[in-house]
Amino acid sequence: MRNGFFMGHGLGNDYIVVDPSELGFRLTPKNVRLICDRHLGVGADGVLAMSPARTADFGVRVFNPDGSEAEKSGNGLRIFSRFLYATRRTQRTAFRVATKGGVVGVRLHIDAHGDASSATIEMGIASFRPSDLPCSLRVEELVDHPVRAAGRRLHFTGVSIGNPHCVIFPERNRGWSRSDLLELGPALEHHALFPRRSNVQLARRTGPRAIEILIWERGVGETRASGTSACAAACAALRLGLVRSPVRVRAPGGDLRIEIDGAWNVTMQGPVEEVARGRFSPAFVRLLR
């Protein structure tokens, strides 16, 4: 459909999906910001754009609402995979998708209505090496290192799932508040340790196979859910000896199941919903040209 779009969400984290070959405008940072604006555009937490793929069946680019480009999005991958199946770009339930943060394997789960209402994503290999985030600390692994942010002394574990994450567990396993997130999230995202910025998770152990997280997403801010954040926090918790795999990760938007094997291969399973399909109006397209 010319200038058409598909919209879906994973645990309240919503994305607009487009095929650039069907658009009458370019996906510039300015245009992405306008499309994602909840007052002036359609409104979303980001834009997913189909892209050519040489090493996989499909390719996707992930744009944040500030116009920047992310390497990978777990919720976005589930939404993009449902888009592919719902729009008959594929009728396969298992395929591979290339992202800027690596190639992932997808397995769709079809419900009684014929919808791909959940998906299992092979997210790749987690890394704690500073060069993979990147992080400027000269250490072998970013595990439980001290950091000062917003005038507070903390300890963080840095994890790359194809994109960078800074995971903070509290002393004495106390809970985190939203005010903690609003204070620490931007301070850590833009911390000098992370030259390309970082996603931030304030995490807490809630059981031998369970944690809960608050999420500050790079280029987005506070968000209800993030697939890569759930994966990173689960890996940090496992590396710190706080939990065993599989790990149930609870975010404000809901739960994801994260499985991590002995080689740090990470698999995520969670729901995905279609919200709408539509077409950008001629007048809106003229603004985007």
Residues 6+ apart with CB under 8 A from 189: 166, 197, 198, 199, 200, 216, 218
| 60-69: pLDDT as tens digits | 999 999 999 9
Mean pLDDT over residues 11-31, rounded? 97
Is a pLDDT exceeding 90 seen at residue 198? yes
**Does residue 43 come out as left (phi exceeding 0), alpha (psi in the -120 to 50 range) or beta?**
left
| 98-135: pLDDT as tens digits | 999 999 999 999 999 999 999 999 999 999 999 999 99
Going by pLDDT thresholds of 50, 70 and 90, the confidence category of residue 172 is: confident
Among 223, 212, 197, which residue's Cα sits nearest to residue 76?
A: 223
pLDDT at 174: 86
pLDDT at 171: 86
Q: Which domains does the chain have, with CATH numbers?
A: 4-124+272-288 (3.10.310.10), 130-263 (3.10.310.10)
pLDDT at 141: 97
